[in-house]
């Protein structure tokens, strides 16, 4: 073309900036977890049944669904937290980088180092800010400068600038949002591979919530993040993939258990979900 030359501006920019990764792009990434036919029961009663899904590297994967759908039970399977609950039994398989997480010779403590967890309520130790972050590396006898490790973790958790002049102050003096970022820094200090977050922002104000969400976007470059949230819009904002769980009640009303209804790219879940139950939930007509 002579006059109508091709545009100077890179036309793919819109797509690149978008977080709306499509499913094939996500699924081309390495599998961190491969879950097959997973079920969890407490004292013989099924809480969750038949869950099959993959979690991919450097993505944020969100689990959403109404209360009692088993999403928190499910996330606890990823670092064997259910081992700590009396009467809990896990069936099916969870492969972590191809290895069965529930094999007898797997060290649950090592698993929890590589797969860190952040809980709903910030739970810093009643120690200094510094000691909270240094605790894990100390216990594990990790090599290298502890100061550098603490600083690095606090920087990664976007907290360093706010606390660098008062590292010896008690962690409980921090605001709720800062405490939650401290807990993220504490999880990062032991060099994990995966960060599990169980309702990480539900006890926080909107500004602190936005900070945590920004942080998730930042952290997924280096980590794989799995989040449980009852806040659908939070899943819409931060997640690449979203799994919707729902509750199935037995015909005779004797039992209720969680099931995975739909698992797809977040874009798909929030624009054109395949299952009517997902549509009803995300549009606020159910649950």
Partner 1 sequence: MRVEFQHELDALEAGFQEAGEIVVRAIRGVIDALRTQDVELCDEVIAFDDEVDARYLALEKQIELVLARQTPVAGDLRLVIALLHSGLHVERMGDQCVTIAKLTKLSSHLGTRTAVVESLVDMGERCEEMAKISLNAFATRDLERARTLHALDELVDRANRQVFQEVLGYVNDAEALEWGMRQITVARCFERIGDNAVDIGEQTAFLVTGEFAEFTDASHDTLH
The residues that touch partner 1, with contacts defined as CB under 8 A, are: 1-4, 6-7, 9, 11, 13-15, 17-20, 207, 210-211, 213-214, 217, 233, 236-237, 266-267, 270-271
Shortest spacing between CB 114 and partner 1, in angstroms: 27
Closer residue to partner 1 in complex, CB, 52/233:
233
Q: CB under 8 Å to 280, separation ≥6 — which residues?
A: 286, 287
What secondary structure letter does DSSP report for 246? E
Nearest Cα residue to 36 out of 54, 56, 21: 54
Nearest Cα residue to 155 out of 185, 123, 197: 185
Shortest spacing between CB 267 and partner 1, in angstroms: 6
Closer residue to partner 1 in complex, CB, 96/270:
270
Shortest spacing between CB 2 and partner 1, in angstroms: 7
Shortest spacing between CB 271 and partner 1, in angstroms: 5
Closer residue to partner 1 in complex, CB, 147/205:
205
Closer residue to partner 1 in complex, CB, 22/83:
22
Nearest Cα residue to 90 out of 79, 64, 261, 241: 79
Closer residue to partner 1 in complex, CB, 77/269:
269
Decide: 133 and 185 in contact? Cβ < 8 Å.
yes
Shortest spacing between CB 109 and partner 1, in angstroms: 35
Retrieve residue 8's tokens: 């100077």
What secondary structure letter does DSSP report for 5? P
Residues in the chain: 287
What secondary structure letter does DSSP report for 254? S
């Amino acid at each position: 073309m002579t006059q109508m030359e091709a545009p100077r501006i890179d036309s793919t920019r819109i797509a690149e900036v978008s977080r709306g990764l499509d499913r094939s792009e996500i699924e081309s990434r390495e599998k961190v977890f491969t879950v097959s036919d997973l079920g969890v029961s407490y004292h013989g009663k099924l809480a969750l049944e038949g869950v099959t899904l993959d979690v991919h590297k450097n993505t944020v994967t969100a689990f959403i669904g109404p209360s009692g759908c088993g999403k928190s039970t499910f996330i606890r399977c990823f670092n064997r937290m259910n081992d700590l609950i009396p009467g809990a039994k896990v069936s099916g398989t969870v492969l972590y980088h191809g290895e069965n997480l529930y094999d007898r010779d797997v060290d649950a403590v090592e698993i929890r180092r590589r797969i860190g967890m952040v809980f709903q309520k910030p739970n810093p130790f009643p120690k200094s800010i510094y000691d909270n972050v240094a605790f894990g590396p100390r216990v594990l006898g990790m090599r290298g400068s502890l100061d550098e490790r603490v600083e690095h973790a606090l920087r990664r958790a976007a907290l360093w600038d706010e606390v660098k002049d008062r590292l010896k102050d008690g962690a409980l003096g921090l605001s709720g949002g800062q405490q939650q970022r401290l807990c993220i820094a504490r999880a990062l200090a032991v060099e994990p591979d995966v960060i599990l977050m169980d309702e990480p922002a539900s006890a926080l104000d909107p500004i602190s919530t936005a900070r945590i969400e920004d942080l998730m976007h930042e952290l997924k470059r280096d980590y794989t993040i799995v989040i449980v949230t009852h806040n659908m819009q939070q899943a819409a904002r931060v997640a690449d993939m979203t799994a919707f769980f729902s509750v199935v009640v037995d015909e005779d009303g004797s039992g209720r258990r969680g099931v995975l209804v739909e698992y797809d790219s977040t874009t798909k879940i929030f624009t054109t979900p395949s299952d009517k139950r997902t549509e009803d939930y995300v549009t606020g007509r159910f649950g």
